[in-house]
């Protein structure tokens, strides 16, 4: 396996790796058709095996405080994408990508790293094992069908909402979790490098 900088010709393989890695997680429907381009500087690494992307990490970092990260107290970096192809999971690829990224961040004098993830226990455990600490959370809510009644209203009488994604930052999480069938806790993690 080789860890190297992402190259534009990696895009299709990058997309496939990400989709397959997320398939059996709470992010199963977070599908991209193009790789993201960042407004700020970034570190984009891939793990390559036999010409295919088997792991990836994209981290956007700050040159001015609080332009990318919300939970970092100094210049920080945000993990936007971290994924390992299911056929290669639990073999240290994610950790190797993280270590390579942290080395690059330190060379840029960035010593805080932030990440958000949903409530998959094994993913949260991975972040904790790699030195991240949860600093906050909020809810991701997916509403559809009758769950939209009395919640989402269109101003145009010919427009009928069928699906909605929302974020909830209020105090009554229990009520929200009872009211909607698909609710995920989105956890913010931070690590000091």
pLDDT tens by residue, 34-67: 999 999 999 999 999 999 999 999 999 999 999 9
For the chain, give the secondary structure using H, E and C: CEEEECCHHHHHHHHHHHHHHHCCCCCCCCCCCCCCCCCCCEEEEEEEECCEEEEEEEEEECCCCCCCCCCCCCCEEEEEEEEECHHHCCCCHHHHHHHHHHHHHHHCCCCEEEEEECCCHHHHHHHHHCCCEEEEEEEEEEEEHHHHCCCCCCCCCCCCCCEEEEEECCCCHHHHHHHCCEEEEEEEEEEEC
- What is the pLDDT at residue 104? 98
- Strand pairing category for 112-117 and 76-84: parallel
Mean local confidence (pLDDT), 159-163: 91
Which domains does the chain possess?
2-134 (3.40.630.30), 139-183 (no CATH)
Confidence of residue 150 (pLDDT cuts 50, 70, 90): confident
Segment 67-79 shows an average pLDDT of 94
- Assign 5 a pLDDT band (cuts: 50, 70, 90): very high
């Amino acid at each position: 396996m080789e860890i190297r900088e992402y190259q534009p010709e990696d895009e299709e393989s990058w997309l496939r790796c990400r989709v397959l890695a997320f398939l059996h997680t709470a992010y199963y429907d977070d599908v991209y058709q193009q790789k993201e381009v960042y407004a700020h500087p970034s570190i984009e690494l891939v793990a390559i095996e036999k010409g295919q992307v088997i792991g990836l990490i994209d981290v956007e970092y700050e040159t001015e405080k609080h332009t990318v990260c919300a939970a970092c107290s100094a210049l920080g970096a945000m993990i936007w994408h971290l994924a390992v192809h299911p056929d290669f999971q639990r073999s240290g690829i994610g950790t190797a990508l993280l270590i390579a990224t942290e080395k690059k961040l330190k060379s840029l004098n960035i010593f805080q790293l932030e990440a958000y993830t949903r409530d998959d226990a094994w993913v949260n455990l991975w972040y904790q094992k790699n030195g991240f600490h949860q600093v906050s959370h909020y809810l991701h809510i997916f509403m559809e069908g009758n769950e939209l009644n009395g919640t989402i209203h269109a101003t145009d009488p010919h427009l009928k909402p069928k699906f909605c994604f929302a974020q909830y930052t209020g105090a009554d999480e229990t009520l929200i979790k009872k009211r909607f069938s698909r609710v995920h806790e989105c956890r913010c993690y931070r690590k000091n490098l």
